[in-house]
Amino acid sequence: MAQHPLEKFRFCPLCGSHRFVENNVKSKRCQDCGFVYYFNPSASTVAVIVNDRDELLVVRRAKEPALGTLDLPGGFCDCYETSEQGVAREVKEETGLCVEHTEFLFTIPNIYPYGGLDIHTIDQFFLCRVADTAVAVADDDAAELMWLPWAEVRPELFGLKSISQGVRRLLQWHAGRRASDR
C-alpha cells in the first residue's frame, strides 16, 4: 500500500498537536482540535506554443527534477491567480514571450518531486498564442529553448511523466488538426 500523501505532516497546522492522524485517503484530522486537512493537488500549467512554421516551442529543463530533459513552458499557479494568468506568467518568465490568448486543451494528473516531498499536481495544458515568437529567449527554469517540427517531437525525451504523456496527446491532436485542414 502506498504511503499516505500527508505522512510527512505530523503536527496539526492549526493547534500544533502531535495527534494529527489519517482521517481517510484524502485527509488528516487533529484528535485535539478537530481540524481536518484535505490533501488536494496543486494547480500547474503547461503552455503549448506553435509558431507560424507549425513548430512546437520546447525548453530544456535547467533544474531538477528531470534536469537537462525536454519540457514545455509552464509551472505552478500562484495563489489568487487564474490558470490562464499562471500560464501567461510562466511563459513570460521562461521565454520572454507575451501570451495574448489561451485555449484550454486537457489535464493530466502528475506527481512532482520537490524538496523531499511528492507534490501531487493537476497539469493543465493550454494552447497559447503569443505576440512575437522571434523574441523568445531561455530564462528562469529553462536552460535553452528550441522550435521543433512536429515530426521531430519525441515524447520519450521529455523528462516529466505528465509532460511526456501530454506530448503524446498533442501529437495526436496535431495530426487531427492537419487532417482536418486538408
Q: What is the pLDDT along the chain (182 residues), one digit of tens a residue?
A: 456 678 888 999 999 999 999 999 889 999 999 999 998 999 999 999 999 999 999 999 999 999 999 999 999 999 999 999 999 999 999 999 999 999 999 999 999 888 888 888 999 999 999 999 989 999 999 999 999 999 999 999 999 999 999 999 999 999 988 677 76
Q: What is the reported pLDDT for 6?
A: 81
For cell 503524446, name the residue: 168
Q: 3-state secondary structure string, the chain?
A: CCCCCCCCCCCCCCCCCCCEEEEECCEEEECCCCCEEECCCEEEEEEECECCCCEEEEEEECCCCCCCCEECCEEECCCCCCHHHHHHHHHHHHHCCCEEEEEEEEEEEEEEEECCEEEEEEEEEEEEEECCHHHCCCCCCEEEEEEEEHHHCCHHHECCHHHHHHHHHHHHHHHHHHHHHC
Q: How far apart are CA 172 and CA 178, in angstroms?
A: 10
Q: What is the reported pLDDT for 116?
A: 80
User: Looking at the chain, which residues constitute the CATH 3.90.79.10 domain(s)?
Assistant: 42-181
Give bridge partners of residue 56 from the DSSP assignment: 50, 148
Q: What is the reported pLDDT for 2?
A: 56
**Which architecture characterizes domain 42-181 according to CATH?**
Alpha-Beta Complex (3.90)
Q: How far apart are CA 23 and CA 31, in angstroms?
A: 10
Q: What is the reported pLDDT for 1?
A: 46
Q: What is the reported pLDDT for 4?
A: 64
Phi, psi of 100 (to 5 degrees): -100, -30
| pTM of this structure | 0.89
